[in-house]
Structure 1
């Protein structure tokens, strides 16, 4: 199996036709059919169902399509990276951010990239950490911010920080005038939390032993959660970076959770064993620099971690 065979196979699979793929690739149809037949013989499986209307990938063909797309994408990135190694850092870097991190990190990170590395195009994809981890391993993202990851997982991990979570309420609530609240005091208060698939919820649920959390509503939208809390509908548990703007404006009030603290470890993750472009390495370093600045400015609260702290 070689790159040319994979490229030919993928073109046929997407065109659903040997003749259309032959035109797209500028190769005679018999030669194209020969390459695909050799690939099927090498793998010992049938990759296409053939009919008078064209071809359709089999289940094995669909599996190979996913791998072929990833492999060809990496080959293209490798060629680009080699060409630009001695030049100004350039290229496209995709990074996945959970919403609770994206709220505070996206704007300063994009400004930093524009100011210092204008030839790098940064694509930020915001979603649940569960989806982001899948996309990183599939090669759809160069890297992503994930929480509480097992070091034995199939990621290359760079520990970023240990982030504190805060109890959040509307102004005029029972926490007014306080700077902290003990975890057992939260028992029985109506909470608005993200759903079970959210990395934020995982950090909260780890502390549920012995504490009766009263989850009034589950919503996978931090914007809606903050609006509901501000309206007095309930309370929530959120990271400082997601609420510092509203707290500064007096829309929300937040206090530290103590005895015990609710914290989560934040990592920058990439797929283990996959090469990263020079541009991706630069963005990785810049993200750590921007995160340090946010902590220094009290826009993100927690302890910065060193790589040896995994």
Structure 2
């Protein structure tokens, strides 16, 4: 069987449509349609249910998807192992992580990875927890780092890299108290600024002020740098990983407030698919992350 058929099928399932899948794969739509029709002829039954919103797998399609993932994994392992350099870390490794982790925890490690493993090409992709875990399941990422108090995704091996310290920050001119924890009611009365939905600590802060009676929808921002600048300009208060605001706290552009005790402790988790074979390059980067990304307390 041409495994390109399986790749097209899994991509259609992931994106929910043939047209979108064709664009992502770099094919014309008719090519992906032919791939799906060829698979359906091979198995003798429909694999997709078509509906106005897109497509979804039939029962046979869902079963085929499980086997297809394993077949593609085996193909990747075979191609890697038969090369002469299979025992050495070489090739691409794709890592998904929150923006703050990519920028402030992983980017500084890139020179070390390059020095230790010159034939490994490490790519970083900012992603919230759901997006990162979906990328793992869809084979678009090899490793993921997620920031959550706890996480229990099926079919994923997790390593707890420890607590990620968060800082509740505001402009130096803030009237909020600094000598005691800020209460949820005080926060709800302030202008709270958040990152986009899917960011665990921003979503938790939103839920906290909502529970204190805040009815307005707090503004959401697409990036940490923009959010920090808005807070420094006096537009509100936000919650961010301490490592992301260390420079601003040091030079006085931001001040740290004491957060409510209700906020959960965020852990950084290193995630890998349980059943997928890990290439030497993936194993090397996984080990490096475990060694060099210590907990921030």
Looking at structure 2, the residues matched to 190 and 9 of structure 1 have their Cα atoms a distance apart, in angstroms, of 49
Change (3 A) 1:290 1:235: same
Query: Gaps spanning 5+ residues in structure 1: where?
Result: 22-32, 49-56, 296-300, 303-310
Looking at structure 1, the residues matched to 31 and 187 of structure 2 have their Cα atoms a distance apart, in angstroms, of 61
1:124 aligns with 2:124: yes
Aligned residues: 267
The CA deviation at 1:73 is 6.0
Looking at structure 2, the residues matched to 129 and 42 of structure 1 have their Cα atoms a distance apart, in angstroms, of 37
Looking at structure 1, the residues matched to 213 and 286 of structure 2 have their Cα atoms a distance apart, in angstroms, of 40
Task: Judge conservation of contact 1:147–1:265 (CA < 8 Å) in 2.
Answer: yes
Looking at structure 2, the residues matched to 250 and 258 of structure 1 have their Cα atoms a distance apart, in angstroms, of 22
Match of 1:45 in 2: 45
Task: Work out which of the residue numbers 242, 265, 273 in structure 2 matches 1:240.
Answer: 242
Q: Residue 257 of structure 1 aligns to a residue in which SS?
A: coil
1:265 aligns with 2:267: yes
The normalised TM-score by structure 1 is: 0.70
The CA deviation at 1:107 is 1.9
The normalised TM-score by structure 2 is: 0.73
Looking at structure 2, the residues matched to 246 and 170 of structure 1 have their Cα atoms a distance apart, in angstroms, of 10
Task: Judge conservation of contact 1:7–1:68 (CA < 8 Å) in 2.
Answer: no
Looking at structure 2, the residues matched to 289 and 179 of structure 1 have their Cα atoms a distance apart, in angstroms, of 37
Query: Gaps spanning 5+ residues in structure 2: where?
Result: 10-21, 49-54
The CA deviation at 1:183 is 3.8
Match of 1:91 in 2: 91
What are the superposed Cα offsets for residues 115-149 of structure 1, whole Å, 9 maximum, x if unpaired? 21111110111123221121111111001111335
Task: Judge conservation of contact 1:137–1:271 (CA < 8 Å) in 2.
Answer: yes
Q: Residue 96 of structure 1 aligns to a residue in which SS?
A: strand
Change (3 A) 1:180 1:99: farther
98-107 or 234-243, which deviates more: 98-107
The CA deviation at 1:10 is 6.2
Looking at structure 1, the residues matched to 180 and 77 of structure 2 have their Cα atoms a distance apart, in angstroms, of 49
Q: Residue 193 of structure 2 aligns to a residue in which SS?
A: strand
Match of 1:220 in 2: 222
Match of 1:6 in 2: 3
Change (3 A) 1:171 1:8: closer
Looking at structure 2, the residues matched to 143 and 180 of structure 1 have their Cα atoms a distance apart, in angstroms, of 39
Structure with larger Rg: 1
Task: Judge conservation of contact 2:128–2:198 (CA < 8 Å) in 1.
Answer: yes
